[in-house]
């Protein structure tokens, strides 16, 4: 079993990824638990590029293998926005509420049938001791839905109160954390990553 550092200080994301990888033989710590600050400018032009930047920064700071992800919401009616700018949609230090309000304002007047969207996630594992070409593993996941007319539900974070799962006719924030752990874009990406079991042995 290897020890890896999760390259985030976001407590919500940390809990979610730990639960997704619960059955994988890996010991996960975090930058917050190690009390390490890593300053990374997420200026990549893809989710994978940003995830790799964060993972390599954490690996260099700790000497450990590192896992990270970058994810975003892509709205059809906005030609894929906010995309990689999802967490900073309303500004560099925007709150979830501010991002959600901006999204709703930009979709004002767009009918329910044209509010399709997807969550996208790139999950990565970097192995600083491995030879070049074998030191990065990347996987992707996505989750289709639509954007509601108003926030609903009190579970989850980010755009969860707006993202409706059509088969459930409810938002992710209404469906709860257990449902999200089984079905989300992040779950799909990290479970695909976990299939590379040799990297975690």
Task: Please count the residues of the chain.
Answer: 201
32 vs 10: CA distance, rounded Å: 8
Sequence-separated contacts (24+) of 103-110 with Cβ below 8 Å: 103/73, 103/75, 103/147, 103/159, 103/162, 104/147, 104/149, 104/150, 104/162, 106/78, 106/81, 107/75, 107/77, 107/78, 107/147, 110/77
Strands 116-126 and 82-83: unpaired
Q: Which one is the CATH code of 2-200: 3.50.50.60, 3.90.950.10, 3.10.20.30, 3.40.50.1010? A: 3.90.950.10
Could you give the 3-state DSSP secondary structure of residue 53? helix
Q: Which residues are catalytic?
A: 70
pLDDT tens digit at each of 201 positions of the chain: 788 999 988 888 888 888 888 888 889 999 988 999 898 888 899 999 999 999 999 999 999 999 999 999 999 999 999 999 999 999 988 999 999 999 999 999 999 999 999 999 999 999 998 888 889 999 999 999 999 999 999 998 999 999 999 999 999 999 998 999 899 999 999 999 988 866 666
């Amino acid at each position: 079993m290897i020890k890896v550092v999760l390259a985030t200080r976001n407590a919500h994301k940390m809990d979610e990824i730990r639960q997704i990888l619960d059955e994988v033989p890996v010991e996960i710590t975090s930058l917050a638990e190690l009390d390490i600050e890593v300053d990374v400018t997420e200026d990549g032009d893809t989710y994978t590029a940003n995830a790799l930047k964060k993972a390599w920064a954490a690996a260099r700071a700790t000497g450990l293998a590192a896992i990270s992800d970058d994810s975003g919401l892509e709205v059809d009616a906005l030609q894929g926005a906010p995309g990689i700018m999802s967490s900073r949609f309303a500004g560099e230090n925007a709150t979830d509420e501010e991002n959600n309000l901006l999204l709703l304002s930009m979709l004002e007047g767009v009918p329910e049938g044209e509010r399709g969207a997807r969550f996208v996630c790139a999950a990565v594992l970097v192995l600083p001791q491995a030879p070049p070409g074998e030191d990065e593993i990347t996987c992707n996941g996505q989750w289709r839905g639509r954007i509601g007319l108003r926030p609903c539900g009190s579970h989850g974070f980010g755009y969860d109160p707006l993202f409706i799962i059509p088969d459930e006719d409810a938002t992710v924030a209404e469906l709860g954390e257990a449902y999200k752990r089984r079905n989300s874009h992040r779950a799909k990406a990290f479970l695909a990553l976990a299939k590379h079991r040799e990297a975690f042995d």
